[in-house]
Amino acid sequence: MSLDCDIPIITSATEMQHWVDSQRSQGSTIGCVPTMGYLHDGHASLIKAAAKRHPVVIVSIFVNPTQFGPTEDFNRYPRDLARDISVVANAGGTIIFAPTMEDMYPDGPHAPIHINGISDMLEGAMRPTHFDGVATAVSRLFEAMAPDEAFFGQKDLQQTLVIRRLVETSILDVVRNVVINVQPTQREADGLAKSSRNVYLTSQDRDDAPVIYQALMNASRTIMYGETMRTVIERVMRDTLSTIDRLVVEYCVAVEATTLQQKEVFEPGDKIAILIAARLGATRLIDNEVVTYER
Ligand code: AMP
């Protein structure tokens, strides 16, 4: 099947705003999918979900330096614009917004927005300033794209909570008016969550990586069978993860899913988020599931 890969790319924020204004004046609603590129099926599922709801879907591609720590993989983060263009076209995207660094950070890369509380735990504790970078970049992207609805993956559950809070607390109408839509995590056949960073995995890493999903599945089953104690749910995950000696666990927790707060005993109706971050060799992997505890 031959597919139209003629996707326009805008690199200037001002030009993006003008383009959005012209689409809106013709009656279009705007969906957007913010990404760092090197697109895979997870991103494609967000683009498809957006295209079902909006005649115009903007996919932003920006490898945001302020969300990487000084020892993280900003420079080696994978990039492939030619392939990204075809993923966007095949998934039903309309246009790519690939802003320059100067457009995103006219005064140099810094991240002035801090969302208190939710930014400071779990991923935020392991990667201080990460969510400041995410919130600052997403706010700026929303200013340029002025979307009606923005699509994010549950794969980055904590990020979705930071962004929801960003939208609730922003003083900018263009940010506050964005509806946040969260879509399910796309996985490989063996359960490994799709991720641009999976390209870093050695073949040994790739063989071992599905243990993270297995740990999440074992904990989910434990909850569905009626377990309510945080410590027991977390122990089930740790026991599964410990079958791979070389996996280094950063965190492995069961928490309330909308606040990520710890709770010793869950109650009927609670949404329980189980989250894991772990290192395999040189690669850091994160994953999560949300399970509703029903008696
Ligand atoms: P990234 O390019 O890694 O910044 O991701 C861009 C968006 O894609 C974020 O909203 C991610 O949560 C989402 N995403 C990444 N991996 C997946 C996945 N496996 N399934 C669904 N969404 C994903």
**Which element (helix H / strand E) includes 236?**
helix 230-241
Q: What is the mean pLDDT of the chain?
A: 96
Mean pLDDT of 172-185: 98
What is the pLDDT confidence band of residue 294, given thresholds at 50, 70 and 90? confident
The pTM of this model reads 0.97
What is the pLDDT confidence band of residue 2, given thresholds at 50, 70 and 90? very low
The pLDDT of residue 70 is 93
The residue to mutate among 130, 152, 164, having the most atoms of ligand 1 within 8 angstroms of its beta carbon, is: 152
Ligand 1 neighbour 35 (Cβ under 6 A): yes
Ligand 1 neighbour 287 (Cβ under 6 A): no
Q: Helical H runs in 39-129?
A: 41-53, 81-91, 101-104, 123-126
What is the pLDDT confidence band of residue 1, given thresholds at 50, 70 and 90? very low
Mean pLDDT of 163-176: 98
What is the pLDDT confidence band of residue 295, given thresholds at 50, 70 and 90? confident
Ligand 1 neighbour 46 (Cβ under 6 A): yes
What pLDDT digit, counting tens, does each position of 213-229 carry?
A: 999 999 999 999 999 99
Ligand 1 neighbour 104 (Cβ under 6 A): no
| CA 153 to ligand 1 center in whole angstroms | 5
What pLDDT digit, counting tens, does each position of 212-270 carry?
A: 999 999 999 999 999 999 999 999 999 999 999 999 999 999 999 999 999 999 998 99
| CA 264 to ligand 1 center in whole angstroms | 30
Q: What would the two tokens of residue 60 be?
A: 């932003």
Q: End-to-end alpha-carbon separation of the chain, Å?
A: 49
Q: Is the pLDDT of residue 6 over 90?
A: no
The pLDDT of residue 212 is 98
What pLDDT digit, counting tens, does each position of 58-117 carry?
A: 999 999 999 999 999 999 999 999 999 999 999 999 999 999 999 999 999 999 999 999
| CA 278 to ligand 1 center in whole angstroms | 17
State the sign of the Cα–Cα–Cα–Cα dihedral 272, 243, 40, 77: positive
From the CA of 152, give the closest atom in ligand 1: 10
Q: Are 81 and 135 in contact (CB under 8 A)?
A: no
Ligand 1 neighbour 94 (Cβ under 6 A): no
State which amino acid sits at residue 294: E
Phi and psi angles of residue 98, each rounded to the nearest 5 degrees, phi first: -120, 80
The pLDDT of residue 293 is 81
Ligand 1 neighbour 133 (Cβ under 6 A): no
Instruction: Give the full edge-to-edge strand order of the sheet including 95-97.
Output: 9-10, 95-97, 56-61, 30-35, 149-153, 179-183
Catalytic positions, written as ranges: 43
Residue with CA nearest ligand 1 atom 18: 42
Q: Is the pLDDT of residue 4 over 60?
A: no
| CA 44 to ligand 1 center in whole angstroms | 9
CA 240 to chain centre: 25
